[in-house]
Every structure is written in C-alpha cells, then in structure tokens.
C-alpha cells in the first residue's frame, strides 16, 4: 500500500466528515498487487441534507484529491440518502476537463424530491446521454404520473432513465417483482396491468421490461414469469390469465413462463420467432393459438 495515497484518502475522509449535511463517512482505500488501487468513499447524508451541502461534499472531495496520484478510474464517491444513492467518479485524468459533479447531484436531489418517486439510484453509466450516469427511478405506487412526467420534462436527459415499478416479493427469500420502462413513464393502463399480473403470479416471481430491443430500435415489451418447479400444465394454468391481462396493453408482449425445465414462450398480440426445429409444448401451442397473430 502506498502510504502517501492511503494517508490522502484518510485526509479526504476527515475533511468531509465535519461538513454540514454529513451524517457519517466510511473510507475504504485498498491497494494490492492482484487488484490494484481502489478508493471508495461512502458518505451518509443527513435526512435534512440540502443539494448545496451535497454539492459541497463532492467539490471538497475533488479539491482535496488534487495532486494525489490516484488511479482516477477506480476512485468513487458514493452518497447515500433516505430516498436513494448516488455514486460519482469525480476525478478527471491528466489533461482532461474537470468532472461536473454539481449536475448529477442536482438531478439526484430533484428526483428524490418528486412526489411520484420512492427511490433514486444513480451510477456511472451511459443511459443518460451527455451526463455519463445511469439513472434508475423507482416510482411510488399508485403512480402520480403527472408528477413523474413533470420531473422528466424538467430534466430532458431523463429520456434514457429506467422508470421502475417495484413490488415486494410474497416470500422474503425472493427478489422484488419489477417492471422497468426505459425512457417512458409507465402509463395508467400499464400500471393496472402490472398490478394484475403481480396478483396473478401469487407467491412466484415476475419481471417486466419495456424499451428498445437488442436487435431493433423499436420498443419491445416483455414479461418473464418464474414458477419453480412447474410442469407444462402448471405453466399453462398460470399463463392463461396472465396472457389475457397482457392483451390490455394493446401492443405485442413477449411472454415467457419459466418452470426450470419446462417453458412457454409466446408473443401476445404478435408472432414469436422460435429457433428452427422448435417443438412447442401443449401449453405453449394452446396459448399461441389464442393470443398470437402470425
């Protein structure tokens, strides 16, 4: 471990700890032969912290890092608040313009303040053009669509954000049920259908997505229901009312029923393209006959 860099990391933590709006600071600096250098500073913000105070935290981090030979690609400043978390890579490389830390912090606070928002998570990424951050916005249900759209209008960059409906699992060992809509706030019909599908899966799991497809710029809507273990008859029993509910979206929806060994894959209101030689199960053939439009 390089003592100068380790000492600098501690100095930065000590400089931020007494700042207004800061509740706690955790300094995690590591440098090993196998993993190189990593400096992660986590700042827990006070419940009443303001955007100005959080921006000062980020600016202090940058100022105190000046002249220290950190590997800037492995330096992170994370801020944790009551309604979300923000991770910054606040340092720029030699000869590069300074990183803009004020804008992502302002967006983070605007998101948390919106009535429609339950939680905001921002990480270094690329789904927000020009910002350099990936933004996940978890919406409070029932969704205040007007407030969510107003937030999107205020920040046009949120055209690439993930707007997520999240429901707690029926059993604690399972992951939450989530519907992720990239760039578009889920409308009232989508919210109603999602609520119905969550009810229909009962204690099992469902994940929905709506956004640009991997091989096409057109939006693709998909739902994956996991029922483990489940045979074809069980998948069909759950799949019939779920497929019927999805018809209300009035657009093609890729539906996958996963039973860990048995599967049903159809496109409700569309035509699923299967691999050559695909042999549908009885349940898949029945649902396809009713709901596909080939």
- Residue 266 belongs to domain with CATH number: 3.10.310
Question: Which pTM value belongs to this model?
Answer: 0.89
> Is residue 180 a part of any domain in this protein?
no
Question: What's the CA gap between 292 and 12, in Å, rounded?
Answer: 60
From 83, 113, 143, give the residue that closes a domain: 113
> Is residue 200 a part of any domain in this protein?
yes
Please report which confidence band the pLDDT of residue 212 belongs to, taking 50, 70 and 90 as the band edges: confident
Describe the chain by its helix, strand, coil percentages, rounded to 5. 35, 30, 35
Both structure tokens of 188: 């009232």
The per-residue pLDDT for range 252-281, each reduced to its tens digit, is: 999 999 999 899 999 999 999 999 999 999
From 91, 113, 135, give the residue that closes a domain: 113
The per-residue pLDDT for range 227-240, each reduced to its tens digit, is: 999 999 999 999 99
- Which is nearest to 206 in space by CA: 231, 246, 176, 248? 176
pLDDT confidence of residue 288:
97
> Is residue 106 a part of any domain in this protein?
yes
> Is residue 60 a part of any domain in this protein?
yes
The four Cα atoms 157, 158, 161, 165 give a dihedral, to 10 degrees, of: 180
Q: What is the mean pLDDT of residues 205-217?
A: 88
Q: What own/partner pairs with CB < 8 Å and gap ≥ 24 does 263-269 have?
A: 263/235, 264/232, 264/235, 264/236, 264/239, 266/291, 266/292, 267/292, 268/243, 268/292, 269/293
> Is residue 176 a part of any domain in this protein?
no
Q: Please give the mean pLDDT across all residues of the chain.
A: 92
pLDDT confidence of residue 1:
40
> Is residue 133 a part of any domain in this protein?
no
- Torsion over CA: 125, 105, 175, 265 (sign): negative
From 113, 141, 159, give the residue that closes a domain: 113
The per-residue pLDDT for range 65-99, each reduced to its tens digit, is: 988 888 888 899 999 999 999 999 999 877 677 78
- Does 2 have pLDDT greater than 70? no
Residue with tokens 């760039």: 183
> Residue 202: which domain range?
187-294
Are 287 and 194 members of one domain?
yes
| Total count of domains within the chain | 2
The per-residue pLDDT for range 143-159, each reduced to its tens digit, is: 999 999 999 998 887 87
């Amino acid at each position: 471990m390089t003592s100068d860099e380790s000492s600098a990391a501690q100095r930065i933590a000590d400089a931020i700890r007494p700042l207004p709006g800061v509740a706690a600071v955790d300094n995690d600096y590591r440098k090993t032969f196998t993993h190189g250098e990593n400096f992660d500073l986590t700042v827990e913000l006070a419940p009443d912290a303001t955007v100005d105070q959080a921006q000062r935290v980020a600016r202090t981090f940058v100022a105190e890092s000046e002249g220290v030979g950190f590997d800037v690609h492995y330096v992170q400043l994370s801020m944790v608040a009551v309604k979300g978390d923000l991770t910054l890579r606040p340092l720029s490389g030699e000869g590069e313009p300074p990183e803009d830390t004020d804008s992502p912090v302002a967006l983070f606070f605007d998101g948390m303040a919106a009535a429609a928002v339950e939680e905001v998570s921002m990480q270094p990424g690329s789904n927000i053009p020009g910002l350099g951050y990936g933004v996940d916005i978890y919406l409070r249900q029932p969704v205040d669509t007007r407030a969510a759209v107003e937030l999107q209008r205020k920040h046009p960059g949120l055209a690439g954000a993930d707007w997520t409906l999240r429901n707690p699992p029926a059993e604690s060992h399972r992951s939450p049920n989530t519907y992720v809509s990239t760039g578009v706030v889920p409308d009232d019909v989508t919210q109603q259908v999602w609520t119905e599908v969550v009810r229909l899966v009962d204690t099992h799991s469902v994940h929905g997505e709506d956004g640009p497809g991997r091989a096409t710029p057109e939006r693709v809507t998909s739902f994956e229901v996991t029922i483990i273990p489940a045979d074809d008859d069980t998948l069909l029993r759950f799949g019939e009312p779920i497929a019927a509910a999805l018809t209300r979206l009035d657009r093609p929806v890729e539906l996958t029923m996963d039973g860990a060994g048995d599967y049903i894959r159809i496109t409700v209101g569309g035509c699923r393209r299967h691999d050559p030689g695909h042999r549908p199960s009885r349940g898949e053939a029945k649902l396809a006959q009713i709901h596909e439009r080939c």
